[in-house]
Structure 1
Amino acid sequence: MTGPTSAPWVAVVGDNTVDRYLADSTVEYSGGNAFNVAVQLARLGVPVRYFGAVADDPDARIIERGLAVNGIPADDLAVLPGETAVTVIRLLPGGDRVFEREDFGVTADYYPDPAALEAIASADWVHLGMLPRASELRAELARRGSGTVSQDCAVAAGLDHLDVAFLSAGEGADAAALAAATAAEGVPLVVVTRGAEGALGFDGESTWVQQAVPTTVVDTTGAGDSFIAGFIARRVGGGGVADALAGGAAHAAETCTHPAGWPHPPETTVPTPNPTTPTTEETR
């Protein structure tokens, strides 16, 4: 268990994928909803562990390298029989992307084993990305008395035992109505992203509105994941909702300026894992 003076740390649970772009067959990127959030948190200096699954295949090496170059140990990757997830992406003019094909592979079968559950429950904040058994995990975390639990509700179902719900309304949607309906289900804080129209936060009483940060759009892949990471980073750092929304908007805008969900280095240099990232022993 981390000591009382240790920095708050985040457990990110869920999907990963190898992103392949139709227009560029020379580069294979590591990504996925949960994976991108974990990487972006690490890049923001937040101690983080990523819990997900890969197969024993060449694509798994791409996921492992993505963790390594961002200082996240691969110790919490489960290896399951099957294939590592792959997403084929086509970029549109202006940077919007279309998922031509999504093969979820072993991520569709992943659920944390007992040792992983123990570690996840000890985190100060747990974020769930795409996870087929998300409701089951939230219930288990509630039973164990875990810290704050958030979820990307665009890719994982259920609202019970949830502290922060991240929703995507898109431009032109009634984000306030969506937030109010979600809060009425018992979620203490609802965050709704609206693309170029910014984001909104609602806690059942107060509403916060955040404008989108102007940016040069190269690729919108991972912008929503980066918003979530920016928001969580500010919150675990002690910031309020308005500050967290601003952090999310700024980080999402930065992500739009480069290909893929995080800025992949051109070389394969792998640094030593982030010393602020809690190890398995430290969280027991």
Structure 2
Amino acid sequence: MGAGQQKVAMLGECMLELQGEPFGQFSQAYGGDTFNTAIYLARCIQPQAATVSFATALGCDPLSGGLLQRWAQQGLSLELVRQIPGKLPGLYMIELDEKGERSFHFWRDSSAARRYFDVPQTPLEARCHEFDLLYLSGISLAILSAAARERVFALMAQMRALGAQVVFDNNYRPALWTDPLSAYASFARAYELASMALITLDDHQQMLGVHDAEAALAHAQKLPTPELVIKRGEAATLVRQTPDASWQSVPTVPVPRVVDTTAAGDSFGAGYISRRLRGESAPEAAAFGNRLAARVIQHRGAIIKKAYMQDLLS
């Protein structure tokens, strides 16, 4: 990767976000795993180097309109967005404990994003030949119907054949799947089709249903994706840039106080991809991803103010 202006497509969902105490006051924002990555990626790259488009569906209501306006202000291209009359954005609420760990409550079963592929050809499929990189996650797959997932897999194969990079992030949320076996089958397809996989080991272990983290790590290291990144919380990140390369360990960045772990992995992915797009090595990209994630978890909310990370962008 590297050289010339590139186009990046991010497939997923952005929802309205509520944070606060039940039956108390709430602050309103917006977020979603691939959307968070899209925002941080747009911040980490120069506009003349790459454009970031978010592929999703929204409604035609004022809330959807407000989201589109804010996305454009954040530097995202809207060319891949579908607007569906009668549909609304999804909604989620975050509760935080005293350690900054979060729990989520979702209202997304009938969200517009789930209907992105309910047309013969989506904007993403129609324009896939224009893009240099496609990014999606386990959640991107989970919210779609089985038929729509098959179209995503076909799209991944098509874009790889066209020479694009295809990045799969394994975000695994059991509540979005009918059972672990169907998730495992879909993830296995994605790993075969992707050129790069970002693995959160805790999620991988949970999907495998094993108690031994070392067994989950050994399984992850044997995945067929050419470029692999394994995130292990506070432990060092492991990277392998090519199938025949040795694994390299990249330390994480200690922080004085964790405020909110929301979007830690999402921001890491953005940092990693941004540096790989610039032509930096996988260990260099992982080091930057770890620095960005360390900054994000020291602030509340999925999308922190750009001023909080400005010194990292020079």
Counterpart in 2 of 1:262? Answer: 303
Query: 2: distance between equivalents of 1:169 and 1:5?
Result: 32
Counterpart in 2 of 1:17? Answer: 15
> Contact 2:17/2:91 (CA < 8 Å) preserved in 1?
yes
Question: More displaced, 91-100 or 119-128?
Answer: 119-128
> Contact 1:128/1:134 (CA < 8 Å) preserved in 2?
no
Query: 2: distance between equivalents of 1:207 and 1:175?
Result: 17
Query: 2: distance between equivalents of 1:232 and 1:48?
Result: 12
Query: 2: distance between equivalents of 1:148 and 1:175?
Result: 29
Q: Higher RCO, 1 or 2 (CA under 8 Å, sep at least 6)?
A: 1
Given the alignment, which residue of 137, 142, 153 partners 2:170? 153
* Pair 1:192 & 2:230 matched: yes
Given the alignment, which residue of 207, 225, 228 partners 2:269? 228
Query: 2: distance between equivalents of 1:209 and 1:100?
Result: 35
Identity of counterpart residues, as a percentage? Answer: 24
One-letter amino acid of the structure 2 residue matched with residue 34 of structure 1 = T
Count residues with an aligned counterpart.
262
Question: More displaced, 145-154 or 239-248?
Answer: 145-154
Matched residue SS, 2:54: strand
TM-score normalized by the length of structure 1? 0.81
Query: 2: distance between equivalents of 1:176 and 1:10?
Result: 34
Q: Quick one: structure 1 residues 176 and 64, their matched pair in 2 at CA, closer, same or farther if it must change by over 3 Å?
A: farther
CA distances 1:28-65 after superposition (whole Å, capped 9, x unpaired): 11210111111101111242111111122343244324
Matched residue SS, 1:100: strand
> Contact 2:51/2:77 (CA < 8 Å) preserved in 1?
no
Counterpart in 1 of 2:152? Answer: 137
Unaligned runs of 5+ in 1: 267-284
One-letter amino acid of the structure 1 residue matched with residue 274 of structure 2 = A
Deviation at 1:201, TM superposition (A): 1.7
Counterpart in 1 of 2:112? Answer: 106
Query: 1: distance between equivalents of 2:156 and 2:218?
Result: 25
Matched residue SS, 1:21: strand
Query: 2: distance between equivalents of 1:183 and 1:110?
Result: 33
TM-score normalized by the length of structure 2? 0.74
Please state which structure has a larger fraction of its residues in helix. 2
* Pair 1:250 & 2:291 matched: yes
Deviation at 1:183, TM superposition (A): 5.3
Q: Quick one: structure 1 residues 103 and 114, their matched pair in 2 at CA, closer, same or farther if it must change by over 3 Å?
A: closer
> Contact 1:9/1:48 (CA < 8 Å) preserved in 2?
yes
One-letter amino acid of the structure 2 residue matched with residue 44 of structure 1 = C
> Contact 1:192/1:201 (CA < 8 Å) preserved in 2?
yes
CA distances 1:56-96 after superposition (whole Å, capped 9, x unpaired): 23432443243122122333221124221111110111211
Q: Quick one: structure 1 residues 124 and 73, their matched pair in 2 at CA, closer, same or farther if it must change by over 3 Å?
A: closer
Given the alignment, which residue of 120, 128, 141 partners 2:136? 128
CA distances 1:220-245 after superposition (whole Å, capped 9, x unpaired): 11111000000000101001110111
Query: 2: distance between equivalents of 1:212 and 1:84?
Result: 35
Counterpart in 1 of 2:53? Answer: 49
Q: Quick one: structure 1 residues 86 and 208, their matched pair in 2 at CA, closer, same or farther if it must change by over 3 Å?
A: same
Unaligned runs of 5+ in 2: 173-185, 206-211, 308-314
Matched residue SS, 1:47: strand
Q: Quick one: structure 1 residues 190 and 20, their matched pair in 2 at CA, closer, same or farther if it must change by over 3 Å?
A: same
Matched residue SS, 2:234: helix
* Pair 1:208 & 2:248 matched: yes
> Contact 1:139/1:161 (CA < 8 Å) preserved in 2?
no
Given the alignment, which residue of 180, 196, 199 partners 1:164? 196
Matched residue SS, 2:166: strand
Deviation at 1:128, TM superposition (A): 0.8
CA distances 1:148-179 after superposition (whole Å, capped 9, x unpaired): 100112247332211111121139x7666545
Query: 2: distance between equivalents of 1:134 and 1:182?
Result: 22
One-letter amino acid of the structure 2 residue matched with residue 41 of structure 1 = L
Query: 2: distance between equivalents of 1:11 and 1:178?
Result: 30
> Contact 2:20/2:27 (CA < 8 Å) preserved in 1?
no
